[in-house]
Structure formats: C-alpha cells, structure tokens
Amino acid sequence: MNPRPASKGGFREPGRSRIRQDGVGLIEVLVAVLVLSIGLLGVAAVQTRALANNNSAIARSMATVASYSILDAMRADQANAIAGAYNTTVTANNCPSTGSFAQTQLNYWCTELGATLGAVDTTTGQVACTGVGDCTITVTYNDSRIGVMGSSAQQVVTQAML
C-alpha cells in the first residue's frame, strides 16, 4: 500500500499536489518589472515627440508674428511700401544697414528673425509688394527640431493688403 502524505487532519485535500513552487513570486515580479519598463519607455518616447512638436509649433508661431510685425511697419509707411522700398530679402546673419525708415524697419525685422528663429543663413525673410498694396511676406527658417517626421526647411507665407 502506498501511504499518502498527510495534511490537515491527516488527509490530503483532493486536487492538491505537493510540487514546490519556490521562487515563482520572484519570477512574476521580474516579468512585471519588464512589462512596466517597456511601457515607461513608450511613454518617454511619446513625451519626447510631443516636446519636439511643441517646439516646432512655437517656431511657426514666431515666424507668423514676425511676418505681421513687418506688415504693421509697412502700413505705417504705406507710400514707400507700395513704391517698393520694402521689396527685398533679408538674411538673419547679415542684416541690412539702417538709413531710411524702410531700411531701419527691415533691419529691426531681420534682427527679430535672428533672435527668434536663429541668426543663421537659412533664416530669411522676403517682402514682395505690388504697386496696388498686395504684399506677400515669406519667412524661411531651419526647423531641425521636428526630426525625421518633417522637413527641416520650413516656410511661413503671409499675404495681406496694406
């Protein structure tokens, strides 16, 4: 006769085996930590991408604000703007000299572009006005913050009437 191991009251409970499971709790904890780590890495990647997109959006907003600032200056000097005194391209690392009111405003605008979007040769601002007061302002800048999902050369075009 094969004696059964005794448990509570001397009888073995049905369906219970006596296989030892030492260390199973540790393995479960390690698997849980692994799954949690993978999840946290995913959250960190999403956060990094969100910050890059936020920086890119700020740069686009600053380019738009800069285009409206030169338009406001041109509205204050409307006769010269229509005559073409503002029609030029400025580069943020080589701003034009001051002199007339239009040249001074272009210098201030160029300095603003350099301060907000980077004083490099890829940051440019172009003004093109027709003789009837239709103006197109184009701001081009390097937005390498966006990463591989977008283009590093960004352009904001604003069209307005004086």
Q: Give the tens place of pLDDT for each residue, 80-96.
A: 999 999 999 999 999 99
Closest CA to 155 of 117, 128, 129: 117
Closest CA to 70 of 83, 89, 55: 89
Give SS3 for 124.
Answer: strand
Phi, psi of 126 (to 5 degrees): -125, 135
Average pLDDT of span 33-42: 96
The reported pLDDT for the residue numbered 144 is 77
- Total-model pTM: 0.72
Residue 1 has pLDDT above 60, yes or no: no
The reported pLDDT for the residue numbered 159 is 95
The 8-class DSSP code of residue 132 comes to T
- E-only strand ranges, 29-152: 88-91, 124-129, 134-142
Query: Helix crossing, 101-117 with 24-76: angle to 10°?
Result: 180
Give me the residue label for tokens 């943020």.
92
The 8-class DSSP code of residue 94 comes to B
Q: Looking at per-residue confidence, does 15 or 79 come out higher?
A: 79
Task: Return the H-helix or E-strand segment holding 91.
Answer: strand 88-91
**pLDDT band at residue 33 using 50, 70 and 90 as cut-offs:** very high
Q: What percent of the chain has pLDDT over 70?
A: 81
The reported pLDDT for the residue numbered 26 is 86
Residue 151 has pLDDT above 90, yes or no: no
The reported pLDDT for the residue numbered 117 is 92
**pLDDT band at residue 162 using 50, 70 and 90 as cut-offs:** confident
Do residues 114 and 92 lie in contact, with contact meaning Cβ atoms separated by under 8 Å? yes
The reported pLDDT for the residue numbered 24 is 72
Q: Looking at per-residue confidence, does 63 or 22 come out higher?
A: 63
